[in-house]
Amino acid sequence: MKFKILAFLLLLSTIYVSAQTLSNKAMPDFTVRKGLPNFYRKISDGKPVTVAYLGGSITEAANGWRDQSAEKIRQRFPNAKINAINAGIGGTGSDLGVFRLRAQVLSQKPDLVFVEFAVNDISKPSTLIHKAMEGIVRQIWKDNRETDICFVYTLTGDMGVDLGKGKIPQSTAAMEEIAQHYGIPTVSMGLKVVQLATEGKLVYKGAKDQYPDKIVFSADNVHPFPETGQKLYAEALSVALDSIFIHSAQKNGKRLVKPFIKDNWEAAKLIPVEKAVKTGNWEKVTTDDPELQRIFKKPFTEFIKSSEKGASLSFRFKGQVAGLYDVVGPGCGQYELSVDGGDKELVPRFDSYSTYYRPQYFLKQGLSKGLHTVRLEVSGRQLDKKEILSQRNNQTMDKESRYQENACYAGYIMLIGDLQN
């Protein structure tokens, strides 16, 4: 324990001397570490580059920090052709990112990967963040050691308040440990936001016309307006990259050092659900359904669904973690999950945000090493959807008919292990 505390204190001391800080003392604006040498060399030579943005809804949003930062890079390097990959999926964290990385990012051969999960990982234990974030890093460098990586940190209003008091958000602190271990540069894109809020010039949540004399960060305390919060993020990243690039002239040397966590998730994989054994009636979801179009996130273009009580999916695998990439929304019900014939566990696929359909996932972790059989059965137990919706600002149903179905969807099996016949 003493060693871990000492190591973390040394980590923080390294962070503090690595970059300039704002008046806020919790975090530096950025930490250069080993920089982005390969990307900088390539783009400086005017060669075409691919930049991937892996994250949640803050990254996915149109005209946000992703689009704005890509444009700033284009302006700085006008002779280079820059291809930007939007690999953001709202409401998901690093524990899905590590599974979808190969299909959505590595398949497109990126030269630089920005990773943004601090907000969506805020309630997750540090051990899980370590496993997922290290899995992302090691997958990238096993695919191509020349690919550069940069962690970027966004915030919610609550996280901003903590930062203003000198407290580092738990998710950010966990990610910093992985970044320090591998020499990955990091950028705290929200510190200017915190500074402006501390000075009384910015409010984290509200309607713009409510605060005509202030900057309004977002409408919901989380998702920044493109012209305010997202713009501040992009500007912070641009300033940080200027310094990171300056210190990125040399090659990095060895990148895949000894793992920080022995059982990290570098072996995470997605397997088409067609590999599962099906019982009952399952139908293919079509892309021409206007309500469901937003769930089709390339290359995740196939989903199946069933509303039949008792219809099931099952598979056998050797490993310790398994899950499902699926859908939540108005017409969703719940699964009954069992492992190795044990007690059934209800997995609701409807939550207080389910006024629309969106991609989602769930994982079963901590299984013993060895062979396991997973069974997912469409439950006949009805959810009280009105009650669930009311838990979020007294949200109500627009049309009750949209909520009557109790279907379960499936896209991909998520595994850290190997599927067995």
Alpha-helix residue ranges (DSSP H) falling in 299-419: 385-390
- pLDDT beyond 60 at 5: no
Q: Are residues 206 and 291 in the same domain?
A: no
Q: Are residues 310 and 238 in the same domain?
A: no
pLDDT tens, 149-163? 999 999 999 999 999
Amino acid at 55: G
Q: Which of 212, 246, 280 is the last residue of a domain?
A: 246
Q: Judge whether 197 lies within some domain.
A: yes
Q: Are residues 150 and 281 in the same domain?
A: no
Q: Are residues 334 and 193 in the same domain?
A: no
The per-residue pLDDT for 251 is: 60
Q: Judge whether 252 lies within some domain.
A: no
- pLDDT beyond 60 at 6: no
Q: Judge whether 374 lies within some domain.
A: yes
Query: CB-based contacts of 151: which residues, under 8 Å, 6+ apart?
Result: 114, 115, 116, 133, 175, 176, 178, 179, 184, 185, 186, 187
Q: Is 225 helix (H, G, I), strand (E, B) or coil?
A: coil
| Prediction pTM value | 0.90
Which residue do the tokens 């099906």 mark? 278
Q: Are residues 215 and 309 in the same domain?
A: no
The per-residue pLDDT for 188 is: 97
Q: Is 249 helix (H, G, I), strand (E, B) or coil?
A: coil
- pLDDT beyond 90 at 175: yes
Distance CA 234, CA 72 (A): 8
Average pLDDT, the chain: 91
Ranking 133-147, 244-258, 404-418 by mean pLDDT, the lowest is 244-258
Q: What is the CATH number of the domain that holds 323?
A: 2.60.120.260
Q: Which of 211, 246, 281 is the last residue of a domain?
A: 246
* Contact assessment for residue 187 and residue 175, using Cβ atoms and an 8 Å cutoff: no
Q: Judge whether 80 lies within some domain.
A: yes
- Mean pLDDT along residues 66-81: 96
Q: Are residues 226 and 278 in the same domain?
A: no
* Strand 312-328 relative to strand 304-306, pairing: unpaired
Q: How many residues are given for the chain?
A: 421
Which residue do the tokens 């060399």 mark? 41
Beta bridge partners of 187: 30, 152
Residue 24 confidence class, pLDDT cut points 50, 70, 90: very low
- Mean pLDDT along residues 182-198: 97
- Mean pLDDT along residues 6-21: 37
Q: Judge whether 416 lies within some domain.
A: yes
The per-residue pLDDT for 300 is: 84
Distance CA 44, CA 41 (A): 5
- pLDDT beyond 50 at 8: no
Q: How many structural domains does the chain have?
A: 2
Q: Are residues 206 and 350 in the same domain?
A: no
Q: Judge whether 160 lies within some domain.
A: yes
Tokens of 224: 């920044």
Residue (of 352, 64, 354) closest to 223 by Cα position: 64
Q: Are residues 125 and 173 in the same domain?
A: yes
Query: CB-based contacts of 230: which residues, under 8 Å, 6+ apart?
Result: 58, 61, 63, 64, 65, 68, 224
* Contact assessment for residue 182 and residue 257, using Cβ atoms and an 8 Å cutoff: yes
Neighbours of 300 (CB within 10 A): 17
- pLDDT beyond 80 at 309: yes
Q: What is the CATH number of the domain that holds 167?
A: 3.40.50.1110
* Strand 112-116 relative to strand 49-55, pairing: parallel
Q: Are residues 26 and 128 in the same domain?
A: yes
- pLDDT beyond 70 at 172: yes
Q: Are residues 240 and 300 in the same domain?
A: no
Which residue do the tokens 């006024």 mark? 355
The per-residue pLDDT for 13 is: 37
- Share above pLDDT 90 across residues of the chain, in percent, rounded to a whole number: 83
Tokens of 389: 């919706």
The per-residue pLDDT for 330 is: 96
Residue 23 confidence class, pLDDT cut points 50, 70, 90: very low
Q: Are residues 74 and 22 in the same domain?
A: yes
Q: Judge whether 263 lies within some domain.
A: no
* Strand 30-31 relative to strand 412-420, pairing: unpaired
Residue 22 confidence class, pLDDT cut points 50, 70, 90: very low
Q: Judge whether 405 lies within some domain.
A: yes
Higher pLDDT, 263 or 21: 263
- Mean pLDDT along residues 405-410: 97
pLDDT tens, 360-397? 999 999 899 899 999 999 999 999 999 999 998 788 88
What is the span of the domain harbouring residue 401?
269-420
pLDDT tens, 125-154? 999 999 999 999 999 999 999 999 999 999
Q: Are residues 284 and 204 in the same domain?
A: no
Q: Which of 206, 231, 246 is the last residue of a domain?
A: 246
pLDDT tens, 259-306? 999 999 999 999 999 999 999 999 999 888 888 888 888 778 889 999
